[in-house]
Amino acid sequence: MAHFPLILLHAFPFDARMWNPVRRPLAARVRLITPDQRGLGRTPLPRTDREPSLEDAARDVLALLDKLELDRVVLGGCSLGGYLAMAVLRMAPERTGGLVLIDTKATADTPEVAQNRLAVAARADSEGTLDWLADSLLPNILAQDAPDDVVRTARDLINSQPPSGVAWAQRAMAARPDSFDVLARTGVPALVVVGERDSLTPPDSARTMADALPDAELVIVPGAGHITPLEAPDALSSAILDWWERRFPAEVPEAAAQGLG
């Protein structure tokens, strides 16, 4: 079996630094690649007249694979990163050797959720995002008893994102399609991970997604909310590595980590 790198795509509205708590244990066992998505972190938002779409973000991921000369990877993502992983799977299923879907869902937004995203995007364009975006998101994305240091880290990451990238990502997510058809067609091993207290993509939603995949395992992380990599990094690392050892037994560990953006 080929030696697949692991690409992890971050949540909204964060960047690749959200993977820092899991970076050391994962990178000790697999080749880890954690890019910033367009408009967030250190990756600029391209100038274009095209309507925001995760298809364009998927093309960014495929361009990165081409640049690194990677034919196939295990593709993972948290929340928005999961939506993007499914967009890549829809566009180029032959490039994916496995899936790791964390605190995400395969359904499209309801009209109400999509309208709220568009309102957030408009406010980001007109006011910027400092503080108000974190204030509105943190109660929903973190467990109520999340430690203060986790809350501070999440707030700092949100406040550091460019408003233009925040607005683009919201509009792209609002326009994304349902992806259950994509999941049903994939034959690669998949791991679905969800926080026990995730109110945005709850365990029942994760179970439905895992059931739609032909070859999936579901892990529910006790006590975690919607951002498991920050809230329960040890549990998430263990879940990924345990699954990896069982599903890719011929892999030879390679301690090579890359944080690209």
DSSP 3-state of 235: helix
Sign of CA pseudo-dihedral 30, 31, 36, 37: negative
**How high is the mean pLDDT of the chain?**
94
In this prediction, what percent of the chain has a pLDDT beyond 70? Answer: 95
| 159-216 confidence digits (pLDDT tens) | 999 999 999 999 999 999 999 999 999 999 999 999 999 999 999 999 999 999 999 9
| pLDDT, tens digit, 9 for 90 and up, residues 142-153 | 999 999 999 999
Domains of the chain (ranges plus CATH)? 6-107+177-258 (3.40.50.1820)
**pTM of the predicted model as reported, rounded to 2 decimal places:** 0.94
The pLDDT, as a whole number, for residue 250 is 61
For residue 258, give the H/E element and its range. Answer: strand 257-258
Query: Taking 60 as the threshold, does the pLDDT of residue 259 lie above it?
Result: no
More confident residue, 261 or 176: 176
Residue 260: pLDDT band with limits 50, 70, 90: very low
